[in-house]
Amino acid sequence: MARLTAGITTSHVPAIGAAIDLGKTQEPYWKPLFDGYEFSKKWMTENMPDVVFLVYNDHASAFDLSNIPTFAIGCGESYESTDEGWGPRPIPTVKGAPELAWHIRQSVIQDDFDLTTVSEMTVDHGFTVPLSLLFGQPAEWPCLVIPFAVNVIVYPPPSGRRCYELGKSIRAAIESFDADLNVQIWGTGGMSHQLQGPRAGLINTDFDMKYFDDLINNPDKLADMPHIDYQREAGSEGIELVMWLIMRGAMDEKVREIHRHYHVPASSTAVGHLILENG
Ligand code: DHB
Ligand code: FE
């Protein structure tokens, strides 16, 4: 059977992708951010999964007001980088895992979570920046990836509770897939940031530190935090953090923290990153 071996969180910011693509990671502004991923890139090579189940949000790239799925699972063969205004990122084609994705889709829908099934889409910085942070700049991505898009752009996003319970359903789906596969789940986006309005630039490190700790030790309680608290405390785009609860729901009740990194700011965002193992 397939095994869920680790849960990873990381923020995304388009400028991080640009810093990597333009060779700026060692510049003084960027170095402290990227230094925190050096451990992670090495850890990934030593704990390479066959498949990453990558929970992320699209930013009106593949989905816009013409089509807003709350949850969309990528069941396609491959995915290319979206053009977000500066051309598609110069990264390898992402290879999907259609057989496992279709299995998870069937299992999770039968568990009463409505998923949109997507065979063809492009992927934006929400998806590609986490891959670049954890894998660097390989000629080919070292594993298969299942994209799982969550609407956090158009109100209302799914509740933290729904995300947490969905994670449990995804775990059961992965572990009922009859193949010897090592699968990781990544929850991306966050941490505190606000890109719009009078509070643009808001960052709340106290909130972010507590979020790290509650995610690890108190996830069931954290799952009940209402949207308005994310909005007030973590800024309008801080709501991306609900996606971390999908990852957390898929992990054991008790997890071990393998690595933590926090860096403020990267562009307008508080960047947070965790590697968790079960047990
Ligand atoms: C930034 C952060 C985001 O989450 C995003 O989607 C776009 C931009 C930023 O900090 O610049
Ligand atoms: Fe974002």
Nearest ligand 1 atom, CA 12 = 4
Q: Which residue's C-alpha comes closest to atom 10 of ligand 1?
A: 268
Measuring from each residue's beta carbon to the nearest atom of ligand 1, which residues come in under 6 Å? 12-15, 59, 193, 195, 237, 267-269
β-strand partners of 117: 73
Q: How far is the CA of 13 from the centre of ligand 2 (A)?
A: 6
| CA 222 remoteness from chain centre | 18
Question: Can you give the pTM of this predicted structure?
Answer: 0.98
143 neighbors 50 (Cβ within 8 angstroms)? yes
Task: Say whether 261 is catalytic.
Answer: no
Known catalytic membership, residue 193: yes
State how far the alpha carbon of 244 is from the alpha carbons of 11, 106, 116, 142, 275, in Å: 10, 22, 20, 23, 12
CATH class belonging to 3-278 = alpha beta
CA of 194 to the centre of ligand 2 (A): 10
**pLDDT values of the chain reduced to their tens digit, one per residue, 279 residues:** 999 999 999 999 999 999 999 999 999 999 999 999 999 999 999 999 999 999 999 999 999 999 999 999 999 999 999 999 989 999 999 999 999 999 999 999 999 999 999 999 999 999 999 999 999 999 999 999 999 999 999 999 999 999 999 999 999 999 999 999 999 999 999 999 999 999 999 999 999 999 999 999 999 999 999 999 999 999 999 999 999 999 999 999 999 999 999 999 999 999 999 999 998
Spatial separation of the C-alpha atoms in residues 82 and 236, rounded to whole Å: 24
Contact present, 81 and 129 (Cβ < 8 Å):
no
SS (H, E, C) 190-249: CCCCCCCCCCCCCCCHHHHHHHHHHHHHCHHHHCCCCHHHHHHHHCHHHHHHHHHHHHHH
